[in-house]
Amino acid sequence: MKNYSSNPRCVTILYGTENGNAEDYARLIAFKLEYLQLKPTLAALDDYPLKQLVTETDFLIIICSTTGQGELPRNSKKFMKFLLKKKLPSDLLNHIYLSTFGLGDSSYTMFNYAIRKLQTRLVQLGCEELSPGCEADEMSPQGIDGFYTEWESQLISSLQKFFPDLVALDEEFLPPPKNEVIALEESPDVDTVKESDIISQSRKVSGDTSLKFGVLKQNLRVTSEDHFQDVRHVIIESEDLRYIPGDTVSLYPSNDNQSVELLIQSQPHWKPFADKPLVIEGELPRIDGGLIDKKYITLRSLLTHHFDIMAIPRRSFFCKLWHFGDSSTEDGQREQEKLREFSNFEESEELYNYANRPRRSILETLLEFQENLRIPINYIFDLFPVIKPRFFSIASRPSPTSVELVVAIVEYKTIIRRIRRGLCSKWLKSLHEGDKLLFSTQKMNMKFSLPQVPNPPIIMVAPGTGIAPMKSLIEYVSESDIKQELYLFYGCRYKEKDYLFSELWDGLTSRGKLHNFPCFSRDADSKIKYVQDNLFHEYKLIGDLILNKNALVFVCGSSGKMPKQVKLTFIEILRKFGDLEEEKAQKYVFDMEDNGRYREDVW
Amino acid sequence: MSNILLLLHPTVVTDQHLVESIKQNIKKSNPSDYHLEQHIIDRVTRGDVVLTHNSYDKIVYINPNEDHQNIPVSLMKHLYETLVDDGELSGDLPTDQVLDVLMTGFIVSDSDNKTWIKPKPVESVSIPLKKKTAAASVKKLPAFKKLGVVSSPSNNSAVGLTDTSASNTDEENEEANAMKRKLDDTKLTYFSDSENEEDSDDNDDIDDIINENDLISESNSLGLRANLIVPKACELPSGKKRRKACKDCTCGLKEIEEQEESQQRSLQDSILGKMAQSATLEAIKIEERLKKQPVKFTDEDLAEIDFTIQGKTGGCGSCALGDAFRCDGCPYLGLPPFKPGEVVTIDSLGEDI
């Protein structure tokens, strides 16, 4: 076995993540490997320069979750697209030893498909096994953690054989920061609060032209005031926009000044430097949408625009944080031990009950421990996760000058007394009409036609804010010359409170442009409550559309029960209408999925 | 004298008689002088036991459990390496891993279909990249390995760049390095120069791209699924049961959690109410006293202005420390930490009571 000890940089850890889980595990393994004196490169699959697979990588570790219908997460599609090229030779990557870890949920039929696709293709391209792969199951009693610990221990013992000369470091030791941060103490303060919005719009990625300036034209609550949920119909005006139904917009939210000030106050040694210009050394982690303009970079502006202090602290966060505890007093020692416990797999219940379940934020956590916690400025890039853009389905027909969104404001209660608010929700709520903001659009390449059938009928199933892409599609089709029959199954709670865009639907229906089937789950007089009940009620129509008219099905809304039950309903409808056996009906729907006739867009 | 390696499944080892009879069988079929070495399969798979390469004439693989017949590819490769040329692997071998077997380099014996043979290397001239001087070296058989991949049913890869049987020796001479650089350069030609391929890719002919769904069935035929890591025990390492409602929980746990949350909030209400009440009382008392005799506060007086009368540090001593230290069911759960003797304010974060 070749000895790689002289090249501790040749390990690469790549992750594909939708909600940050896979990223957390990737950070954990990266941190762990640093204690073996390895210097792994950590990046999202799509952020890694592909050529470095040849020039820099001998050991490849991939951690990836599976989304929707067995697809790869958003930040790994480009990587996969490259791998799928047929012209690649079967020994392209034969210098690489590979180990894969997938995060999935076995209640979905396409359980862990993403990691399976990656692993298979990489093996086809010559990768050798470093240690066996793992397909973790959220539904198992051990949870993802149980799979991870087992996979990690095998991976590490395999790696150690290739790096026999490297000695593991003591856990008490904290590796030096990746991005040295130096405050220019002699320079005058930079006021980043007054010009906060200008600073937020100074983000840039060199060469990336996808960022657009927009003006907020409308930020209107469209649910009634007495409804529990605040849903906004947002209109942004801009120019040179190019999008089609199904595409998305990403927004780049910032933290509010008050939260940032609280955090700075909790770290008194930060105060003298909070508004000094900063110099950041080393290669910065990739930030979606780019870093704010250099001249505005201070501790305060970084905390405001780039570090996600409202995120729930992850295990990888505590892995670093406990090192900053001051254990010189009894209190400090107790607190440090607690922070360390949260970083531990043996106590995963503790962390879950403390952070995940009540949705506690990083800010709240730091405030609770502030008395005995001293976070060196140097480590901020290592410690804090960066704010990720938020994605929304576009709700308007293609237009070069404006784009519409439907945004549910996230607010809820847990045992923590303060109301939980989503970072983006809070930010969006604070925006006024006329405010400028940055955004970008993403192509999703959704197709609403079939190879043999140019304009098949479309059955749209859209509870709640799942209506957004449907509105785009309906407006697009109904105002063009395309002859395509549209069937909308919309579901919400009350006809009078949260039936979004009802006038639009009524108008289109009366002009014969739309077949509208709304249902209301909480209205006393509603007989049919849920979209799936309504579909089943119309089984003759639906069955005929699918079996005889090549209809497409498009489901959009919150993940969880709804998409599963809707799919089961379609299977039942085919059984009843087409007199098919259960297996055949099931296969029919699965085939529809494979052929792009049944699409889910759930979150 | 021949070397025989006996690999036993852990369940076999527990049965003394079975092990004896297996050894007797080996003795019968190997009448001549031989040396027998015995290991447990799992220990070899995990790498706990290190076997010397090219050292066994025969390996006997005993795994009578019908459900677990598959041999992980890594183990298969390892066994291949430990056999001498013309060495044999026999025993309870799987019949549905033919592709893996061939990819590893074994030849399946024609006579009984139950023995895998490591073929003798043949002299071959390396196929150099372009016109590199032929550093003729002894190679293993050009290996079914990659050919196996190429011939697999739905494989879409082009043929390899190199003779993949090139061995990975430690010879770090310059020639090897030059060779590697050249190989890297060749590999790099497959990577596009522009980082932003997105637009050009839209024009890619669909025929040039593998359908990613085909990879799922392919993963089975590559045998990748046979070797996945699964966690050991069905409980957390701490022995505690996992208690977390799924996103679409139907077992009722979610309702229990929600109920707990609302109970917690009413507990908080009662505590906050009591504190407000006692604070008012304290304030009235102090004011009355101040009216009588306007003096400086003594330490005692200050200690008296204690709004957390219910428990300065809480009954267990941990309530004041914050959620991280509070017990299950502590009425203060969800409220910020407080110093003994300090008012618990829920607006210490500035809003949202």
Q: Is A430 an interface residue toward B (CB < 8 Å)? A: no
Question: What pLDDT does B298 receive?
Answer: 42
Residue B222 predicted with pLDDT over 60: yes
Residues B59 and B233: their CA atoms lie apart, in Å, by 32
Question: What pLDDT does A398 receive?
Answer: 96
Name, of A6-10, A113-117, B209-213, B295-299, the range with top average pLDDT: A113-117
Question: What pLDDT does A273 receive?
Answer: 92
Name, of A284-298, B28-42, B236-250, the range with top average pLDDT: A284-298
Which of A 381-420 lie inside 8 A of B, CB atoms? 413-419
**DSSP 8-state assignment for residue B337:** P
Indicate whether A379 and A465 sit together in one domain. Answer: no
Query: Do A451 and B299 contact (CB within 8 A), yes or no?
Result: no
B-interface mutation test, from A4, A85, A100, most B Cβ less than 10 A away: A85
Indicate whether A227 and A374 sit together in one domain. Answer: yes
Residues B254 and B244: their CA atoms lie apart, in Å, by 8
Residue A385 has a CB neighbour count (10 Å cut-off) of 21
The two three-digit tokens of residue A360, written as one number: 């506690």
pLDDT above 70 coverage of chain B, percent: 58
Question: What pLDDT does A584 receive?
Answer: 95
Question: What pLDDT does B105 receive?
Answer: 85
Q: Do A90 and B235 touch (CB under 8 A)?
A: no
Q: What is the bridge-based pairing of β-strands A598-602 and A552-557?
A: parallel
Higher-confidence position of B41 and A320: A320
Nearest to A264 by CA among A281, A252, A276: A276
Exposed, middle or buried, A92 (CB in 10 Å: 0-12/13-18/19+)? buried
Residue B296 predicted with pLDDT over 70: no
Exposed, middle or buried, B68 (CB in 10 Å: 0-12/13-18/19+)? middle
10-residue block means of pLDDT along chain A (603 residues)? 88 94 95 94 94 95 91 92 93 95 89 96 95 92 89 95 90 89 90 88 75 94 94 96 95 95 96 93 84 92 96 95 95 94 87 91 95 94 93 96 95 84 93 94 88 92 95 94 94 95 96 96 92 96 96 91 92 94 93 90 85
Distance of CA B233 to the CA centre of its chain: 15
Higher-confidence position of B49 and B144: B49
**Residue A388 in domain:** no
**Residue A251 in domain:** yes
Residues B284 and B287: their CA atoms lie apart, in Å, by 5
Nearest to B337 by CA among B314, B304, B353: B314
ipTM exceeding the 0.90 mark: no
**Residue A427 in domain:** no
The two three-digit tokens of residue B237, written as one number: 């390492």
Indicate whether A193 and A155 sit together in one domain. Answer: no
Question: What pLDDT does B161 receive?
Answer: 65
Residue B193 has a CB neighbour count (10 Å cut-off) of 7
Residue B207: list chain A partners with CB under 8 A: 86
Q: Which pLDDT band holds residue B255 (cuts at 50, 70, 90)?
A: confident
Domain boundary among A127, A162, A197: A162
Q: Is A47 an interface residue toward B (CB < 8 Å)? A: no
The two three-digit tokens of residue B2, written as one number: 């021949």
Q: Is A117 an interface residue toward B (CB < 8 Å)? A: yes
Question: What pLDDT does B279 receive?
Answer: 66
Beta bridge partners of B7: B39, B61
Instruction: Work out the angle between the directed axes of helices A21-34 and A143-162 (0-180°, nearest 10).
Output: 30
Residues A601 and A68: their CA atoms lie apart, in Å, by 7
Nearest to B78 by CA among B113, B108, B102, B54: B54
Indicate whether A331 and A264 sit together in one domain. Answer: yes
- Residue A352's domain comprises 181-383
Q: Is A541 an interface residue toward B (CB < 8 Å)? A: no
Domain boundary among A162, A196, A228: A162
Indicate whether A151 and A41 sit together in one domain. Answer: yes
Residue A463, phi then psi, degrees to nearest 5: -75, 150
Beta bridge partners of A394: A405
Q: Which CATH superfamily is domain B2-117 in?
A: Fe-S cluster assembly protein Dre2, N-terminal domain (3.40.50.11000)
Q: Which pLDDT band holds residue B68 (cuts at 50, 70, 90)?
A: low
Q: Please report, for chain B, the start and end positions of each structural domain, with discontinuous segments joined by +.
A: 2-117, 251-353
The two three-digit tokens of residue B47, written as one number: 């790498």
Query: Do B60 and A120 contact (CB within 8 A), yes or no?
Result: no
Indicate whether A488 and A569 sit together in one domain. Answer: yes
Sheet of B34-40: strands edge to edge?
B34-40, B2-8, B56-62, B83-91, B116-117, B107-108
Beta bridge partners of A16: A64
Exposed, middle or buried, B170 (CB in 10 Å: 0-12/13-18/19+)? exposed
Residue B349 predicted with pLDDT over 50: no
Question: What pLDDT does B34 receive?
Answer: 85
Indicate whether A291 and A191 sit together in one domain. Answer: yes
User: What CATH number corresponds to the domain at position A592?
Assistant: 3.40.50.80
Indicate whether A313 and A265 sit together in one domain. Answer: yes
Residue B48: list chain A partners with CB under 8 A: none
Q: Do A559 and B247 touch (CB under 8 A)?
A: yes
Higher-confidence position of A58 and B123: A58
Query: Do B101 and B61 contact (CB within 8 A), yes or no?
Result: no
Q: Is A49 an interface residue toward B (CB < 8 Å)? A: yes
Indicate whether A157 and A188 sit together in one domain. Answer: no
The two three-digit tokens of residue A433, written as one number: 């009409």
Indicate whether A113 and A213 sit together in one domain. Answer: no
Which of A 544-583 lie inside 8 A of B, CB atoms? 559-561, 564
Residue A154: list chain B partners with CB under 8 A: 46, 229
Residue B294, phi then psi, degrees to nearest 5: -70, 85
Residue A132: list chain B partners with CB under 8 A: 72, 74, 227-229
Residues B59 and B56: their CA atoms lie apart, in Å, by 7
Indicate whether A90 and A231 sit together in one domain. Answer: no
B237: which residues sit within 8 A by CB, 6+ positions away? A149, A345, A346
Residues A327 and A141: their CA atoms lie apart, in Å, by 35
Residue A417: list chain B partners with CB under 8 A: 265, 268, 334-336, 346, 352-353
Q: Which of A119, A161, A357 sits opposite B219 (nearest CB)?
A: A119
SS3 of A261, please? helix
**Residue A257 in domain:** yes
Question: What pLDDT does B259 receive?
Answer: 81
CA–CA min distance A71, chain B (Å): 9
Calculated CA dihedral for residues A349, B227, B75, B97, nearest 10 degrees? 170
Indicate whether A327 and A273 sit together in one domain. Answer: yes
Domain boundary among A354, A383, A412: A383
Q: Which of B155, B231, B352 sits opposite A146 (nearest CB)?
A: B231
Instruction: Please say whether the dihedral angle defined by the alpha carbons of residues A589, A590, A591 and A596, taken in this order, is positive or negative.
Output: positive
Write the CA distances from A389 to A45, A165, A252, A290, integer angstroms. Answer: 17, 42, 5, 11
Question: What pLDDT does A161 receive?
Answer: 93
Q: Do A2 and B170 touch (CB under 8 A)?
A: yes
State the total domains in chain A: 3
Q: Where are the beta strands (DSSP E) in chain B?
A: 2-8, 34-40, 56-62, 83-91, 107-108, 116-117
Question: What pLDDT does A347 receive?
Answer: 78
Question: What pLDDT does B206 receive?
Answer: 64
Question: What pLDDT does B302 receive?
Answer: 38
Residue B164: list chain A partners with CB under 8 A: 90-91, 94, 126
SS3 of A183, please? strand
Average pLDDT, chain B: 70
Closest-CA residue of chain A to B263: A415
Which of A 140-199 lie inside 8 A of B, CB atoms? 140-143, 145-147, 149-151, 154, 157-158, 161
